[in-house]
Structure 1
């Protein structure tokens, strides 16, 4: 029969695991253990369910509580002893850290063609959208990036800077549109981007004029009135 406990050679105590044997050794300085086929006693009180590991422990329980009925569940609780020493808290934490380290990768902004990125930005695309388009279209061409935007312009995260695992590679996706449809969509998108850029330039020009007019009315004209009136 396989060993189901560890027996202390100094005091005869039966322990259910290596961890219990280590704790027993720390408390008593007894470190002489051997495998035993004798199971650790498991007497369960029928009144309160408390398990007792020896006749002495059950007698003390009866004396304290008045409970006298016990069920012997020793054979049910007996299991082959595992002689592998339990890991310490530090060792467990190291194992978790190592596991987390291997599973989590460093996330970075993907590298894209800077020239293509500049061209997309000149067309009016935000940097994050342009970077995302270049990365997920395979970073191959301006047309491929614009085509990607055509198909993903309604994505909720399209203007969020993409973050990818370090050294990851993304293959250029296959388009669900025909070449002709893609060409028309891309042309439409370019036109929209051009108009948006023109509107932004006009807005900036109007803001500039407002600043100039404000300066004239608040500084220059009062001075002229002062000298000519």
Structure 2
């Protein structure tokens, strides 16, 4: 029996002609073809007249549309296959010249494809060029075939380039597209698939965002821990400096007491203490030096220097100095407890009570400026802007004022 089809040895599909085999080879890169006596099926739906070339295709059509009655027209369309590729008849130059034919390169145009299928693919997010190329190379048969072709060739370099074919190919009839029922069902399936894909992508993005939030949270906690550790080190250094200052003040007072004793012995006619008899020296305790770097507290040192200068400038007015310290502590405490209240952040310099308690004392206004207060309206007011309220600075100011009030040796040296 003569061969009526060509069978692909790689995938087993049956093809009607050499042209179909060439097109199949271009699309799939399959090259193993052999002549077969098995005809290509031609099952025509008696309801909508759609041709199906395989049992699988007819089952799919039945599943989508419910049409189950097919007419087998295979024997009517089967015919011996020709293995010779038709060649164009040569045109002699003489006859071409006599007929007025001018040899030129054939014009290339965009292939004709099903416009409805192009619209459906565009509605799914594909570009016009990609939709046209997919329909053309998938045989302009169905929406599913075009989608499958796009999925197989989405990495091609020319996937978004408009395909071009010779003008002669324009006359070729396009193959029948999906019925309205099939198109509706297919569009619903594709929309559902796209929705599921979007949901999965959103879940992945949410997981990534959660990981990023966790990472940022850990970094913030670590930064807070380091800041607390540095603050602890600065506080230890401050306490150590206070103790050293108290030790020096006590030593100075002890020396003064010894001098007073010697003076009283001299006035009473008692012999002076023999300086050659030395008292047992107290054991020298060698202090360990910390190897940890300590960041200088510039604001705290500035505040302490202002308070020391204020006390030294008014060393004979202890009550007035103490009242100034307590007044400054009240100003700082009011701002710390009520940072949003402007009345606590604004001080009139000409106020008699302020001038009597703080303004008339040297370094009193300077202390408030170190805390962040600024002179405004031509120097009539001291004002602390809300955005410059630093609770750490205010806390340091409170600590320095409290130390100056309760420490009897503050500012002695």
Q: Give TM-score scaled by structure 2 length.
A: 0.23
Greater relative CO (CA pairs within 8 A, separation 6+) = 1
Q: Give TM-score scaled by structure 1 length.
A: 0.40
Structure having the higher Rg: 2
